Amino acid sequence: MLCGVEIDHPLGLAGHSDADVGVHALMDALLGAAGLGDIGDLFPDTDPAFAGVSSLELLGEVVARVGEGGWLVANADLTLVCERPRMAGYRLAMREALAGALGVASDVVSVKSTTTEGMGFEGRGEGVAALAVCLLSR
């Protein structure tokens, strides 16, 4: 899973939940913007209740907590860093999946990807990095 979309690739991501690094980055951006800590505070990887859980489900919980503080998601921007798989064919579905979980229109959600030209763990195909920013309004 990546940004809420199942990716057809022989190598998967490993993690305590479904390991959706894109959604995890977005959750941390939302929590940070609202001053609510990070996903490790809310969903620790030491808690068996979160083993294998859908990151989109957790994103829904984060959006609810952010909303309790009177915040609304104005936009979200996500960049995936990896050599493979290529993301172009998945980006629209990713935007729609994230928008649905955020409760916003897909035109305020951006999903981009870039490579490291072979450098680092991403360039060697050992993993995926994700960077996210969001704007909240009251």
CATH number at residue 107: 3.30.1330.50
Q: Let me know if residue 119 belongs to a domain.
A: yes
Q: Let me know if residue 127 belongs to a domain.
A: yes
Q: Where is average pLDDT lowest: 15-19, 44-48, 101-105, 120-124?
A: 15-19
User: Using CB atoms within 10 A of its CB, is residue 12 exposed (0-12), middle (13-18) or buried (19+)?
Assistant: exposed
Q: Let me know if residue 4 belongs to a domain.
A: no
17-45 pLDDT, tens digit per residue, is: 677 999 999 999 999 999 999 998 998 88
**Angle at alpha carbon of residue 137, lines to 133 and 138, rounded to 5°:** 150
Domain count, the chain: 1
Which neighbouring-strand residues pair with 76? 109, 134
Domain that holds residue 94: 21-137
74-86 pLDDT, tens digit per residue, is: 999 999 998 777 7
Q: Let me know if residue 27 belongs to a domain.
A: yes
Residue type, 103: G
The structure's pTM equals 0.88
